[in-house]
Structure 1
Amino acid sequence: MIEILQNSKKEVANSIHSLFQLSYAVEAKLLNLKYFPPLKRPIESYQKSTSVFYGYLVEKERAGIIEISHSTTYTEINSLAVHPMFFRRGIGKGLIEFVFDSFDSKHFTVETAIKNIPATTLYKKLGFHEVKQWDTEIGIRKIQFIK
């Protein structure tokens, strides 16, 4: 089941932060990074965010979260995190398909580290194609996709 998350509530923001920390720790290890900016995101930024958060529940356990920004012309996937206990179970795919079904946008965009093979593979399977690549200030090669 997928539900909207009331991120302005402190306890919900805390739970979003916790899941993102677990997921991003795995991504940082995958990318072989000691400093990974998403791990530095404070709880307050989730609570004050104007993005929309949706959670994927498996037997009342929050298994994944997607954060989006939406306008009439595009929907941007700002963040997608899956709890490590639920990797490889279709949670990320389910959240992205939910966004496709819920928002009538001309374009959907997402970006990730190019070395994040699980994410880039998923995005390509779901019909995204590469738009550009660039290097961040801390040396992470990023890739942007659009659908």
Structure 2
Amino acid sequence: MKRTTLVLTIAIMSMGSLISCKKYENGGSKAKAEKNIQNTWTIDQYYFDGTDATSQLLITNYQETFSDGGTYSRSYNDASGDPKSETGTWTLVDDKDRINISGTGSYELTAQTSTVSTSDYDIIKLDKDELWYSFTNGGNTHEFHMVPK
């Protein structure tokens, strides 16, 4: 009887470990996604089709805020230096693999990209110190590496 109880206990603990160990491609626990995303983030690096294009960004002072309750805001200075600000909502979808943002429009990232817009961002990494996500627009992949403000 003790052996059966021990085997059952180990099996239950193993299942719990497998469920709680879901991770993002480059790090971070999906179990902590809701908590970790709630922050104000700024761009650390930007990649265009896999190439570092941070120095080519036309926008400055870019930041995104994911607040408790699903409120989202984005602010930046455009290529002319004019301040821009948008608000909307956010939710984690697809088993926390994706952020869906609604209520925001397009913006110009680089001279080669023209304007970009999406409402679905694929999470690559998410922990308390980094948020990495990517999206495809116009056949090109845009990847943001964000850090807390």
TM over 0.5: no
- The structure where strand makes up a greater share of residues is 2
| Larger relative contact order (Cα-Cα within 8 Å, sequence gap ≥ 6) | 2
Is the radius of gyration larger for structure 1 or structure 2? 2
User: Which structure carries more helix by proportion?
Assistant: 1
